[in-house]
Amino acid sequence: MESPERVELPAAFEDADVDVLVQLIADMMERVMAHNDQIPLSPESLTRFHSRTAPGISILDYLRRIVRFTKAERACLLITLHYIDQISARMPAFVLSSLTCHRFVIAAICVSSKCLCDAFCSNSVYAKVGGIPVAELNVLEREFLRIIDWNLTCTGEVLQEYYVNLVRQFSKGGYVISDAQSYSSMSSDSDMDTEFSPTSSPAPTPQPVMQTLHPHSSANVPSASRREPSTFLIDTATLAPEAPQPPTLEQNMAFAALQQEHAQELESESDMDTAR
């Protein structure tokens, strides 16, 4: 049997084709979600990013839709993985699953575009593209910023490391970085470390985020990784699938109460806007 044709990708993520980058990110997210969906949902683990049912659109198509209509930059796409690692470390209850991924992604793209780009869309556009009401996106944006404590930047080196590991762990194979060594030597002599951060100091090292994995699973961190293990610097292929468990009555009741609380907050905000 002939080995599949390998496609060489640029050494730097800034030069990679946007759709290839979307495929790499979606592939990793789908594998993480597949394993996290096996973890029983508890009332304590519900967050504002949870939806009642999984959206009917795949995360790959969802990301492609976002890129198509908002022209999201490569850095904004890659930094979403950094945000997930950071928020998982700050908020242990948060788990990337099919119930949280889509709403988290649209909120992450919204805030990263405002932080990193000179031009970006309005919240009404992001909400329409993401398939949620604009008032709901406003709530998600505020919650996102509160949890991450407005730490919206990281160094270009960190994003490059995510890119390299995504290529190495791509489940379908076929991609290889053309010359990673040349990029390393080039970036050491450039100001790339400050390109996505307002200061020249290095970004904090992400802490291990083991709650994003199945509690009885093992994971291998790529030897090339210089940082602590995180959600997206792991090899999820080593995790054995288990049969998913449906939510219990108590979980459904807790979710309904949370949704009612969100609805009351949205109604109260709407009343305040009308009063103005």
What domains can you pick out in the chain, each with its CATH number? 7-38+45-169 (1.10.472.10)
What is the pTM (predicted TM-score) of this model? Answer: 0.67
For residue 160, pLDDT beyond 80? yes
CA atoms of 170 and 162, how far apart (whole Å): 12
Residues 94 and 231: beta-carbon distance below 8 Å: no
Residues 223 and 11: beta-carbon distance below 8 Å: no
pLDDT mean over 190-213: 38
- The span from the first CA to the last CA of the chain, in angstroms, equals 70
User: 72: burial class by Cβ within 10 Å (0-12, 13-18, 19+)?
Assistant: buried
Residues 49 and 94: beta-carbon distance below 8 Å: yes
For residue 269, pLDDT beyond 50? yes
For residue 119, pLDDT beyond 80? yes
Higher pLDDT, 23 or 249: 23
Residues 70 and 113: beta-carbon distance below 8 Å: yes
Instruction: Please give the pLDDT value at position 227.
Output: 37
Query: Sorting pLDDT into bands at 50, 70 and 90, what band is 178?
Result: confident
Query: Sorting pLDDT into bands at 50, 70 and 90, what band is 59?
Result: very high
